[in-house]
Structure formats: C-alpha cells, structure tokens
Chain A
Amino acid sequence: MPLSYGEALQYLLPEVAVTLGLCVVLCWEIFVKGRRAWDASVLSIGFLAVAAVLLVQRLDYAPATVFGMVTVDRFATVFKLFITSATVIVLLFDLQDRRALQDGRGETCFLLLTAVLGSYFLVGTTHLLLLYLGLETLGLSSYVLAGMHKRSRASAEAALKYVVYGALASGILLFGASLLYGMTGTLDLRLMAVPIEQAIREGRTAQIALPTLLILVGFGFKLSLVPFQWWAPDVYQGVTTPIATFLAVGSKGVAMAAFLRYLSSAYATVLVQPGQEPSPYLASLGGTLALVSAATMIFGNLAALRQDNLKRLLAYSSIAHAGYILMGVALLSEDGFNAATLYTFVYYFMNLGAFGMVIYFANQTGREDIQSLQGLGARHPVAGVSTVVFLASLTGLPPTAGFAGKWLLIKVAWEGGLHWLALLTALLSVVSLFYYFRIAKALFLTEPARDVPPVRSPALSGLLGLLALASIAFLHFDPLLQVAEQGVRVLFWG
C-alpha cells in the first residue's frame, strides 16, 4: 500500500521535530544576543520533549516502511524513546554538573541533537546505506563531543582515540556491507534474507560468514565488546561526565537495537524457532557471539576490580554489561532477543543513575575517585541511598530491576543450551559485588576524612531518587517486559 507524501511524512514527524530543534539551537547560538549559558539546553530539552510526545503517539502505528527505507515500527519507536529520554537526562545532568563547560554549551546541545537524529535512523531502518549513515552521524557527533573539553589533555586524548578506533571500525563495517551487497545484489537486509538463506543451504557459508564477521567488528566497537573495547575506559574517563553518560547509555543502547535488527532481518528466515535445533551455520554464529560475550564479561569484571576512578570503573562495568546483553543475543531466538532488550532497558535506568551519582559527588568534592566518597552517604541521604540501589541493581541483587533482568537472561540462556555461559554470568555477578560495594562501603562505612560543607542540589538528588525508584519498581518488570516483547515480536514477525 503506497503512502502519499503527506502520510509518509506523518511517520517521520519525530525526526522532523529533532531536525527543527537542531536548526533552532544553531541559529540561536549564532544570531541571538544576550543569551544565557543554559538557553540552548532548555531549547533542546523542549524539542526533545516534543519529539518524545510524537513518538508516544506513534507507538500504536501499524509497522510501515516509508520513503522506501525508513522502518517505523514498535521496536524502532521504543528505542527512539529510549535515546530521546536518555538525552534529556544527559542534558539535565549537564545543567547540574558544576564542572560542566559553560562555553560551548550550544555546540554540545547541537551535537547531542544530531546524535539523537542519527540514532533515530540507525534503529529505524533495514537498509544498510541508511543504517551506516545513522551510525556515522551518531559517531561523528560523539567524536566531537568527546573532544569538547579543549584545555584538558585527557579529553583531547579521548577524542583522538575514539575517532581513530571509530574510523577503523566503521571502515571495516562498510567493507562487510559492500561484500554483502556484492553477494546478494541488494542493500535491504530484508531482501538479503533470501539469498543468505540460499547460500547457507548450498554450503557457501564463507560468503556470508566473512561479511557478517566484518559487520560484527563495526558493531563490536560501538558496543565496546572484547576485543574492541580498548577505547572505552580512556574515553569515558577523559570526557565530561554527562557526555560519558551519553556514550555509555544512549549510544550503546541504540547500537544494541541496530545490532538486533540487523541479525533479525538478515537471518529472518533461518533464526532459531522454539523447540528447534539451529542449523550448523547459525550454531557457529551463535557460538562466536557466546564466546565474545564470555570474553567481554570476564574482561570487564576483572578489569573493574582494580579501578579507583569512578568513571573508569563504570566504563569497565558497562563493558561487562554489554557482555551480559550479548548473551541473550547469542541465542539467536526470540526469547533471547527479548531478554537482551529487557536488559538494555534495565541497563538504562541503573547506568543513568550510576553516572548521575558520579556527577553529584564530584559536585561535592571536585574529585572522581572512590576515596573521595568517604563518609558522604550520611550527609547526603537521598543520593547515598539511591547510589546503593543503583549498585545493587548493577550487581543484580534481588530488590532491584537488575536482578529481574539478569535472572531472565540467565534463564533463557540455560533453556537455550548455553549452560556454561549462564553459570559464568552468575559467577561474575559475585565478582562484581566486590567492586560495586567498595563504593557503597566508602559512602556509608567509612568516617569522613574532613568536614566539607555539603553543596545542596535538590534537582539532581531528586532525579537520582526517581531513577532509583524506577530501578526498584521495575523488579516487577511486567510493563517493561511487555514493551520489550512487543518490540521484538515486530522484529520477528513483522
């Protein structure tokens, strides 16, 4: 059913809203005299809020492909909401961060908006060309955001590392995509599914395996999977905390969504159905992903043990969590994708909270290491208790959403036959207890080193409290699970 131009544009109104927003922010920065430092942030939050409202309206639209290659379905819309709300929270963090750069805030907002727009196209397409453009728009904005702190050597180093690794990874992904195009004659992943299935059936698996591997490298960089994770700790530590939050939560979440869509579209006809053995090719693909997942979670958890810098610790922790999520992906079944999607949502709440905690306590002390937290928990009850909730959730302890998400992942992995990986996850969660609770111990079980008058920031502690409440409330994760299931069902059944 061909849509008229106007009808098709209806589907893209959120994209239009964000585009309009970034034009307004840019012109505001150039032309308006007497502007204040936070004007651009407020404008951006406003436009993102409009986009979010439009997105909520589009949740119930029937799946459609507009302009030939933009897919608007529940999965895409949910992840567009994910990145939009994450960016709003990042902008709020930026306003609350006392160490944030006052100069260049307009550029930061503009680049965050372009990153959001890139993410919209990244999660909302099965066409490799548009997918690549979305990935590049997100990546390019992130590289510049990483280098915004111009007087800091660490920031410059972070940006350079990020851009060099990123350029290499996107080049490799592009090579994989061009090989796929050469072998199947189309760039649309859904049309590719048939030639791919045929190639697998005829035993020409090398033709498919090589491009898949190359594309996996591209996504592996964005998701900071082992062995493409080297950039993450340096970059997170070098950039300002709000930007690190955006990279760890927003960028990683949408990259995971795009990866799920890539797998489910390109292998649409051969994915594992309930009660069925995977084909040998798919088994080896799943095995590769499972190995990467295991390596990623082992590396992330072990490296985090020795970290003193909070942002560096959270960087290794986010690597470990990417490994957990990948465990669900490695099953290559609907249940596995459900669990991975749900864990991505849970990851969103607890990591936004954890990075917010870093900003809150850095506002108090001006430092970012664990020792600086000594005894601050009693002085800042809301932020302190919220922090413990986030840490419990990151570890996967019972009264939090982290437990629910991890439980589902372990359960589906066990049922899907990945017993060793499920056991490894449980074991590594115990390991992670050590480093997460070093933070809690510093907050509550040590005497304050010196008496610093607390800096009140009710807005930030309120935001942290809300995120903590959400982390607890979603233990009963029915609504979140429903959203995840409905999204993934679209991926599998259209």
Chain B
Amino acid sequence: MREALFYLFGAGALFAGANVVFRRHAVPAAIWLVACFFFLAAEYLLLGFPFLAAIQVLIYVGAIMVLFLFVIMLLDLHGAQPVQAQARFAAGLALALVITALAAAAAAGGEALAEAQAPDMPALVEALFTTFLVPFEVTSLLLVAAIVGALTLGRSPDITPPKQRIRPGRDTIRMVGGAPPRDEAQAG
C-alpha cells in the first residue's frame, strides 16, 4: 500500500514537473510547481520525514511560491512568447531519457540501502549545529552574496551615485540622455 502510494505521488510529481516546463504562461506554470511541491511533501511524509514535509509546504509553497506569483503578476508577462525549438526539445528529451535509463541500469545492480530512520527534532537540530555547522554557516554567506548580487543587478543603472562621491573636476559622470552635466558642487 505504502509502496503503491509512493509511486503514485512520484508519478504525480513528475506530471506536475512536466507541466511546469511545458505550460505556455508563467502563472499556470507556477501553480503546477506548487502542485509538484505538494506531491514531494507527500513523498517525504511516506518516507517518514514529517518535519521535512511540513517545511516543504510552509516554506516553498507558503512563502517562496507566493512571492514568485506576486513577481510574475507584477511583471505582467503577456508579451513574452515561448521559443519554438523542436530540435532542442527533442535533444533535451533524449538526454533526459538516456540519463534515466543509465540511472535505472546503475540502480538495478545495487541492493537497497537500509531504511533511513526518521530523525526526531532534537537530533535534527543537533546535527544542524554540530555535524553540519560549517555548511550551515557557508549557506548563510551564500545567501548574503546572493542578496547583494540581486540588489546590484536589480538596481537601475541610471540612478545618480551619492553626491559625496563626486569630486568636481576629478570625477566625471556620464549622463544618459537628459540635461548636460551640471557642476554638482554648485547644485548641492
């Protein structure tokens, strides 16, 4: 029974994942991604990781996907046309099939690993702050780098830099369009 459910939810996750890729419009694709996350959460539950399942739903579905949807709707991507590239699609599908076949062949020879035991919360927390302390900290740095990167790339290039940076006569700024550069010292 459990096994049947496992494969059922797995198939559901694959179906939803395929829909994320093949939908023409971004909003339905994002909603299919939500469905995919729900199926994955069910898989975690079946494998005996209720905490992971709850986190999956709370963080990915509750927080991240809602933000995604907001951004997609704000950007209003009506004009964006999906690319027509049958050849690339076929190549991608072939590659996916080959990798799946190879993975299946590779897995067929091996024996199943011992069933993972579900960790209780204290054990999980302890592992996070002892065994996995360094990766945990590196992840936080990775996220800081990502935030700074996103801000840097997202900032409009036409914002005038702070006034104190400009030293008249020594630094020059290039204005794109608009009025010719004024003497910033007099203006400020």
Contact = CB atoms under 8 A, between A and B. Distances in A.
Query: Are A and B physically bound partners?
Result: yes
Interface of A: 19, 22, 26, 33-37, 67-70, 102-104, 107, 110-111, 114, 117-118, 121, 127, 129-130, 133-134, 136-137, 140-141, 143-144, 147-148, 150-151, 159, 175, 179, 182-183, 185, 204, 206-207, 209-211, 214
B178 interface: no
Contacts of A68: 130-131, 133-134
Contacts of B146: 140
A127 B106 CA distance: 23
B113 interface: yes
A35 B149 contact: no
Interface string B131-162: 11111001101101110110011000100010
Given A143-B149, A150-B157, A67 B133 contact: yes
Given A148-B152, A150-B157, A141 B145 contact: yes
A134 B138 contact: yes
B106 A207 contact: yes
B110 interface: yes
Contacts of B152: 104, 107, 111, 144, 148
A26 B148 CA distance: 9
A183 B153 contact: no
Contacts of A121: 134, 138
A69 to B, nearest CB: 6
Contact of B135 (A69, A114, A207): A69
Contacts of B149: 111, 140-141, 143-144
A37 B171 contact: yes
Contact of A33 (B105, B113, B161, B164): B164
B107 interface: yes
Given A26-B144, A67-B133, A140-B149, 12 more contacts: A107-B148, A114-B141, A114-B142, A114-B145, A117-B138, A129-B132, A134-B138, A136-B142, A137-B145, A140-B146, A182-B107, A204-B110
Contacts of A26: 144, 148
B145 A140 contact: yes
Given A133-B139, A204-B109, A206-B102, A111 B134 contact: no
Contacts of B164: 33-35
Contacts of B157: 150-151
Q: Is chain A's interface secondary structure helix, strand, loop, or mixed overall?
A: helix
B135 A129 contact: yes
Given A37-B165, A133-B139, A182-B113, A111 B145 contact: yes
27 contacts: A19-B141, A22-B141, A26-B144, A35-B165, A36-B165, A67-B134, A70-B134, A102-B171, A103-B161, A104-B152, A111-B152, A114-B141, A114-B142, A118-B138, A118-B145, A137-B145, A140-B142, A140-B146, A141-B145, A144-B148, A144-B153, A148-B152, A150-B157, A151-B157, A183-B107, A204-B110, A210-B103
Nearest to B130: A68
A214 B144 CA distance: 29
Contacts of B109: 204, 206-207
A159 B102 CA distance: 33
Contact of A117 (B107, B141, B148): B141
Contacts of A137: 138, 141-142, 145
Interface residues on B, range: 20 to 34
Interface string B106-139: 1101100100000000000000001111110011
A154 B102 CA distance: 39
A159 B152 CA distance: 13
Nearest to A195: B110
Interface of B: 99, 102-103, 105-107, 109-110, 113, 130-135, 138-139, 141-142, 144-146, 148-149, 152-153, 157, 161, 164-165, 171, 176
Contacts of B138: 117-118, 121, 130, 133-134, 137
Contacts of B130: 68
A213 to B, nearest CB: 8
A123 to B, nearest CB: 13
A179 B106 contact: yes
* Most chain A beta-carbon neighbours within 10 Å: one of B110, B130, B141, B146: B141
Contacts of B132: 129
Contacts of B103: 179, 210
A129 to B, nearest CB: 5
B158 to A, nearest CB: 9
Contacts of B176: 151
Contacts of A117: 138, 141
A185 B83 CA distance: 41
Nearest to A207: B106
A336 B145 CA distance: 36
Contacts of B153: 144, 147, 150, 159
Contacts of A130: 134-135, 138
A118 B139 CA distance: 10
A129 B145 CA distance: 18
Nearest to A144: B149
Nearest to A117: B141
A19 B138 CA distance: 10
A69 B146 CA distance: 24
Nearest to A37: B165
A160 to B, nearest CB: 11
Contacts of A133: 135, 138-139, 142
Contacts of A204: 109-110
Nearest to A159: B153
Contact of B144 (A114, A129, A179): A114
A483 to B, nearest CB: 26
A286 B149 CA distance: 39
The 10 closest A-B pairs by CB, nearest first: A144-B149, A114-B145, A150-B157, A207-B106, A107-B152, A206-B106, A133-B138, A204-B109, A67-B134, A137-B142
Contacts of B142: 114, 118, 133, 136-137, 140
Contacts of B133: 67-68
A187 B38 CA distance: 27
Contact of A111 (B105, B110, B135, B148): B148
A207 B110 CA distance: 8
A210 B113 CA distance: 18
